[in-house]
Amino acid sequence: MKRIGVLTSGGDAPGMNACVRAVVRTGAYYGMEVFGIERGYDGLIAGDIDEIGPRDVSDTIQRGGTILKTARSTAFLEKEGFERAIAMLGNFKIEGLVVIGGNGSLSGAVDLKKAGVAVIGLPGTIDNDLPFTDYTIGFDTAVNTALSAISNVRDTSNAHERTTIIDVMGRECGDIAIYAGITGGAEIILVPEEPVDLDDVCRQLVESRNKGKSSSIIVKAEGVDIDSNALDEEITKRTGLDVKVVVLGYIQRGGSPTAQDRLLASLVGHKAAALLHEGISGKTVGVRGGEVVVDDIEKAMKMKRRPRRDLIEMARTLAF
Ligand code: F6P
């Protein structure tokens, strides 16, 4: 291929810029023209597309957000918008497209593939909920941001002998809660993959206090089917403990990407451009067992994720 496009779509994730940079520079290295598409599928539909060269991505590897901007496009889900997006690729003579995004964005990429577009899907989301890769771009940074918040909250929880519920993102996936919870020494981790047993939660908190712990941290994923404030009320009512809620929200999506995220982004971005250069498309690129893996995009999006029950079990033991 001689001309490729790249877009970021859905929620921004730290490392997206490092990934765009890798696509742009690898594309240029192989003599391809690379076009940056703004605001995800919305920008593709609108034709907000410009050539982007190696120097345009200088000084971006360390930046959070996305220089291409992003959007959750509703127009792309409509027949008219979808067809306009494909027509626009033709107008700009873009032969191959790299989509960096999460579940919804990569499902869009599957639809494009089915319509005959040469696409490569890359995992860009803090949620770590994509089945074809062990880690997604932005996950490690989000975990570290949550971890830093847990460490701060632990200090004040200890000082006031409190229980604090820390509400983290992740949609229907508990990985941010699990990784930040384990590394932050949380007493309890609540994830959407496991039913919440309120009696058990309260029993653990009381036991913890009786064992001499002066504070408790509960890390709760946003996808758990009890709201953090409702959980606070229940625990207070049943145990009499002093409970506070901290909702971390969008601070988890911003910030400079960690080394891990920059590396992952660089690896998959480089591979995507190299595949398109060879004329290979209809794939996802991820990492499994430390290796870069390339999968058929339709099969990749149908793979099953294994919930990390083993890690939740271990966290329970470590909170003893
Ligand atoms: O997918 C990333 C994510 O941050 C989720 O963890 C969260 O549920 C969602 O996006 C929030 O989306 P929005 O930016 O549309 O509020």
Q: Residue 244 is part of a domain; what is its CATH number?
A: 3.40.50.460
Q: In this structure, are 210 and 289 located in the same domain?
A: no
Residue 312 lies in a domain: no
Residue 311 lies in a domain: no
Q: In this structure, are 112 and 207 located in the same domain?
A: no
Q: In this structure, are 17 and 119 located in the same domain?
A: yes
pLDDT band at 306 (very low <50, low <70, confident <90, very high): confident
> CA 312, 318, 320: angle at the middle one, nearest 5?
115
Residue 149 lies in a domain: yes
Q: In this structure, are 211 and 118 located in the same domain?
A: no
- Residue with the smallest CA separation from ligand 1 atom 2 is 11
pLDDT tens for each residue of 274-304: 999 999 999 999 999 999 999 999 999 999 9
Which among 193, 227, 219 has a CA at the least distance from the CA of 305? 193
Phi, psi of 34 (to 5 degrees): -115, 130
Contact 271, 287 (CB under 8 A): no
Q: What count of Cα atoms within 13 Å lies in the side-chain half-sphere of residue 156?
A: 11
Does any ligand 1 atom lie closer than 6 A to the CB of residue 61? no
- Residue with the smallest CA separation from ligand 1 atom 12 is 11
- Between the CA of 315 and the centroid of ligand 1 the distance, in Å, is 26
Residue 201 lies in a domain: yes
Residue 268 lies in a domain: yes
Locate the ligand 1 atom nearest the alpha carbon of residue 252 and give its number: 4
Residue 12 lies in a domain: yes
pLDDT tens for each residue of 159-208: 999 999 999 999 999 999 999 999 999 999 999 999 999 999 999 999 99
Task: Give me the count of residues in the chain.
Answer: 320
**Which residue type sits at 26?**
T
Helix and strand totals (H; E) in the chain: 11, 11
Host domain of residue 211 = 140-253
- Residue with the smallest CA separation from ligand 1 atom 13 is 11
Q: Residue 84 is part of a domain; what is its CATH number?
A: 3.40.50.450
Q: In this structure, are 77 and 209 located in the same domain?
A: no
